[in-house]
Amino acid sequence: MNEALPLGAMIGILGGGQLGRMLSVAAARLGFRTHIYEPSANPPAAHVADRLTTASYDDAEALRAFAQSVDVITYEFENIPTAALDLLESLRPIRPNRRALAVSQERIAEKDFLTSLGLTTAPYAAVTTLEDLHTALARIGTPSILKTCRLGYDGKGQARLHSPADAESALAQMDGAPAVLEGFVSFTHEVSVIAARGLDGSVACYDPGENVHRDGILHTTTLPAKLTNAQRTDAVLLAARILNALEYVGVMGVELFVTPQGLLVNEIAPRVHNSGHWTQNGCAVDQFEQHIRAVTGWPLGDGSRFADVVMENLIGDDIARIPALAREKNAALHLYGKSEARPGRKMGHVNRIIGR
Amino acid sequence: MNEALPLGAMIGILGGGQLGRMLSVAAARLGFRTHIYEPSANPPAAHVADRLTTASYDDAEALRAFAQSVDVITYEFENIPTAALDLLESLRPIRPNRRALAVSQERIAEKDFLTSLGLTTAPYAAVTTLEDLHTALARIGTPSILKTCRLGYDGKGQARLHSPADAESALAQMDGAPAVLEGFVSFTHEVSVIAARGLDGSVACYDPGENVHRDGILHTTTLPAKLTNAQRTDAVLLAARILNALEYVGVMGVELFVTPQGLLVNEIAPRVHNSGHWTQNGCAVDQFEQHIRAVTGWPLGDGSRFADVVMENLIGDDIARIPALAREKNAALHLYGKSEARPGRKMGHVNRIIGR
């Protein structure tokens, strides 16, 4: 632990949502303090953080003061403006690194990177004009899905095409932004690998979880996933290849489609990931602590799983189920402290532990 | 959950040490915010709390503002000045209640209360003068131990007597404070029950843990404890009797001596307890969340144990072992964010999980 940050060091976290919140708690558990940078008021992470800066990502003065107050900078979301990153990086290390961010901020760069590693993705093509889209449709066919290259998650900025006749309306939904057409893949289920790489280059992966989505939002992650031992090994090796290629430091979520032809990479997220929340109640070291260990130069922790777990997201009005969930046996609740329950908003999650 | 505090409610915590810190994290997990009241600077709990008041317990203005900012008041230590409690209680509910505090703040009141319930304690006698002490020694004998009635924990304010000749020096160590002479009990081991009582009067207990002390400070708690099923039942019923008699709301630590003649109550602590830290990695709902559930009027959670755990305290220089502990398999570290490692100071703990 020569390069490790000392106890009491301050970790800067860009983004004050639930991921920043759970990172902050994990950092405290290891004796670190956190400073949250978040443009919006009363962010969930601030309830459990040592310091909060409320400022926009184009406030150079606030960014500078933030960077100078911390020992290392990490983030809970990938769409951080480039200029802000440039300024912050001139003052303090940003982990995971800029390359991981660049690749995951842009869908085509991501897919190009993954295929360059010999990994398989869904067929894809860049689309800016209607002509591009028709050319892409001729190759990829329908059903397919058009997505903006940047931003957009949880079903936002996406349009499904059931036939070439949907082209015009789908493109209109992109609002002029560069997009990517992705072919539908015939997969049996989706799994994700929560992988970590330390400052010393060591890699550790949690047991893959099986994801079920509802309305484009993660609904449940179930451990163990339905995978053969060979698939489990493939999934972990594939994730390690991605992290090593990026000289990544931190936790990454790697979503995979399980198909008869093997595992396809759906997308990667250079951060702790919703599908890794089960680790809070199934492992000695959860994904949040693992991320903090990585970015502070600690050795990666033991992520072996000692219980079966089903994680269920609590979305919007699910918050009304809390009184019942609070009474449920073997259920560990994790609420995010958000004051307003809007449709589609992640309000918390519950980990159901299936122990011995 | 009719009487339950709503999500987002503010919980006031008196005391900003590691217990307040872990209570604060648990409160956040249920969607609550916390306000810490602590006289000393940079308290560990402030790193993970929404608000902090730095003021002494005789600052009426600060106490009033604190109380008015919160929905309920709880505490992490029992030696809170009475005047402060009077003021706070006039503004907001204090849970656990004043009676629990009064009983546990004063050793003779505590023992009188316990024996009034038909429970067994070590033989004891009040001691103020040397004459009292000799009378008490005549009845209780040596070896025995003289303790101040108030304050004092972790071996402070205590003197062992190996023969009546030690009387004068032992009494001198009490520094004029009222004291109690306690007879030594021949016990095989010490266990503790972490018990909780909800606002609705329901009681829940964690599986008892077995404690080993070193230099008067808790060293390890091991689950499961060496107990017969009958002893386990006795321990839990006995704890429930104490909580019900006090109309207690919150988590209490009940330390018991296991003797051939049955279980003796060593002492009770009206708060989350060091010997309950194992619950963080062995239960879906840990003692900190259980306490928050109780004081906010939530239903008590499922405290059933799904793993064997050994909790080890990290005291003073044990902090130097962190690099090795960080690499240990199945070890969950919990550090308290204290900047200075003094001898005897609790710096953190490690829960070793012995899963399936």
String of DSSP letters for A203-262: EEEPPPEEEEEETTEEEEEEES-S--HHHHHHHHHHHHHHHHHTT--EEEEEEEEEETTE
Residues of A in Cβ contact (< 8 Å) with B333: 29-30
Residues 6+ apart with CB under 8 A from B301: A326, B204, B284, B285, B289, B290, B293
| Per-residue pLDDT, B1 | 47
Chain A hits for B314, Cβ within 8 Å? none
B219 found inside a domain: yes
Which residues of A contribute to the annotated binding site?
107, 147, 152-158, 182-185, 190, 213, 266-267
Query: For the domain that residue B38 is a member of, what is the CATH number?
Result: 3.40.50.20
Evaluate if residue B151 carries a pLDDT over 90: no
User: Is residue A317 domain-shared with residue A209, that is, in the same domain?
Assistant: yes
Residue that is last in its domain, among A183, A205, A227: A183
pLDDT in tens, A220-268: 999 999 999 999 999 999 999 999 999 999 999 999 999 999 999 999 9
- Taking 90 as the threshold, does the pLDDT of residue A356 lie above it? no
B106 is in an annotated binding site: no
Cis-peptide, bond into residue A96, ω within 30° of zero:
yes
B152 or B236, which is more confident?
B236
- The verdict on residue A336 lying in a domain is yes
Smallest CA–CA separation between B32 and chain A, in Å? Answer: 6
Q: Which tens digit of pLDDT belongs to each residue from A16-35?
A: 999 999 999 999 999 999 99
State whether A177 and A198 are in the same domain. Answer: no
Asked which of A148, A183, A218 is the last residue of a domain, the reply is: A183
Range of the domain at B251: 189-354
Backbone phi and psi for residue B303, each to the nearest 5 degrees, phi listed first: -100, 20
State whether B193 and B178 are in the same domain. Answer: no
CATH code of the domain covering residue A228 = 3.30.470.20
Ranking A1-10, A142-151, B127-136, B253-262 by mean pLDDT, the lowest is A1-10
CATH of the domain at A156: 3.30.1490.20
pLDDT of residue B3: 80
Residue B1 lies in a domain: no
- Report yes or no: A197 and A250 within 8 Å, Cβ to Cβ: yes
Q: Among residues A55, A73, A94, which one ends one of the domains?
A: A94
A positions 29-68 inside 8 Å of B (CB): 29-34, 46-50
pLDDT band, residue B18 (cuts 50/70/90) = very high
Residues B199 and B304 reside in one and the same domain: yes
Q: Is B107 annotated as a binding residue?
A: yes
Query: Are A298 and A267 in a shared domain?
Result: yes
Q: Is B87 on the interface with A (CB under 8 A)?
A: no
Q: How far is the alpha carbon of A300 from chain B, nearest alpha carbon, in Å?
A: 7
A348 interfacial to chain B (CB closer than 8 Å)? yes
Question: What's the rounded mean pLDDT across residues B263-286?
Answer: 97
Nearest CB neighbour to B323, from listed A1, A302, A307: A1
* A6 close contact with B: CB closer than 8 A: no
Report CB contact under 8 Å: B332, A47: no
What whole-number distance in Å separates Cα of residue A341 and Cα of residue A215?
A: 17
B56 φψ region: left (φ > 0), alpha (ψ -120 to 50), beta (else): beta
Judge whether A223 lies within some domain.
Answer: yes
Cβ within 8 Å, pair A28-B48: yes
Q: What is the mean pLDDT of chain B?
A: 95
Instruction: Pick the residue from chain A with its C-alpha nearest to B328.
Output: A302
Using alpha carbons only, what angle is made at residue A141 by residues A140 and A147, rounded to the nearest 5 degrees?
70
8 A C-beta contact, residue B330 and residue B353 = yes
Residues B205 and B333 in one domain: yes
**What pLDDT shows up at residue B118?**
96
Same domain, A143 and A269: no
Question: Which chain B residues have a beta carbon less than 8 Å from that of A48?
Answer: 24-25, 28, 48-50
| Per-residue pLDDT, A1 | 47
Establish if A301 touches chain B: CB-CB under 8 angstroms.
yes
**Does residue A101 fall inside a structural domain?**
no
Domain assignment of residue A111, yes or no: no
Beta-bridge mates of residue A313: A349
pLDDT of residue B84: 96
Say if residue B291's pLDDT is above 80.
Answer: yes
What pLDDT score does B216 carry?
Answer: 86
Q: In angstroms, what separates the C-alpha of A145 from chain B's closest C-alpha?
A: 37
Answer yes or no: do B284 and A285 touch at CB < 8 A. Answer: no
Which pLDDT score is estimated for B156? 64
Residue B356: is its pLDDT beyond 50? no
A221 and A299 in a single domain? The answer is: yes
Note whether A53 and A22 are same-domain residues.
yes
A181-219 pLDDT, tens per residue? 999 999 999 999 999 999 999 999 999 999 999 988 999
Complex ipTM, two decimals? 0.92
Nearest chain B residue to A351 by CA distance is B284
Does B143 sit behind a cis peptide bond, omega within 30 degrees of 0 on the bond before it?
Answer: yes
B287 to chain A, any CB pair closer than 8 A? The answer is no
Radius of gyration of chain B (CA): 20
Q: How many structural domains are present in chain B?
A: 3
Sequence-distant (6+) residues with CB within 8 A of A257 are A122, A185, A187, A189, A190, A263, A264, A265, A266
Does residue A100 sit within a domain?
no
Q: What is residue A285's predicted lDDT score, i.e. its pLDDT?
A: 97
Co-location of A150 and A281 in the same domain: no
Q: Is the pLDDT of residue B153 over 70?
A: no
pLDDT, one tens digit per residue, over B174-210 is: 988 999 999 999 999 999 999 999 999 999 999 999 9
pLDDT given at position A2 = 55
pLDDT tens digit sequence for A156-186: 688 999 999 999 999 999 988 999 999 999 9
Instruction: Tell whether B316 is in a known binding site.
Output: no
Amino acid A339: pLDDT = 86
Average pLDDT over residues A116-136: 96
Model confidence pLDDT, tens digit, residues A272-319:
999 999 999 999 999 999 999 999 999 999 989 999 999 999 999 999
Task: Output the average pLDDT for chain A.
Answer: 95
B17 part of a folded domain = yes
Does B150 share its domain with B247?
A: no
Same-domain status, B162 and B34: no
